[in-house]
Amino acid sequence: ICGEGGDVLIECGAAATWPALRAGLLAAGSSPERVRHLLLTRIHLDHAGAAGHLAGAGARVHVHPFGAAHLADPAKLIASSRRVHGAAYDRFYADLLPVPEAQLAVAQDGERIRVAERTFRALHTPGHARHHGVWLLEQASERHAFMGDLAGILVPHSRFIAVPTPPPEFDAEAWETSLRRVIDAAPTHLWLTHGGHVACAAASSRAFLQRALARLRQETEWLRA
């Protein structure tokens, strides 16, 4: 999202994708150096892994309070990710560079921040992880919800919503509460980190969120069984 005083990026992908991210920013008329604010929905490496690279280019990184310490010192985050992904780790993720504490901004629940001539509201939405958050961009009559993984993963070329249940913090009850909170916020646009722009009206946004809620219940019942 471009602004006169610098650009805002929501999510940044893994460190391993840094060359592609840099090329994509340049193709979009921006650059790592123009990104003054990075808004993260959480600290998992597929969402936040390149945060250190952007901080090195000057960005301020906004993140859930539970995630800030892990971005400043990512040793435990890296170690746990290596255990989960094994030999695939370096290919798909690579190590997160530390984010200087002076460039970390803790986003409290309900807090509004003004960047790039726009107002974003942070919503804490645990379930997928306790440090998960949704960013709500409110402008004129539109409310754009940047969902992270809260509404699941829309599998490409299908209508199927996959529900990611990573160890160790998956909490189905908290996830359902978080989804209901976003439904109550009545977004007009939904942006999935894994799936892109999936709804552009209040009715279609609500319908997609209801589908995600139904999939969460289906998945949870299957896991319990």
Tens digits of residue pLDDT in 6-58: 999 999 999 999 999 999 999 999 999 999 999 999 999 999 999 999 999 99
Residue 120 scores a pLDDT above 90:
yes
For residues 148 and 133, what is the distance between their CA atoms, to the nearest angstrom? 7
| Two tokens, residue 206 | 């609500």
Pairwise CA distance, residues 116 & 1, whole Å: 8
Whether the predicted pLDDT of 90 surpasses 90: yes
Encode pLDDT of 56-82 as tens digits: 999 999 999 999 999 999 999 999 999
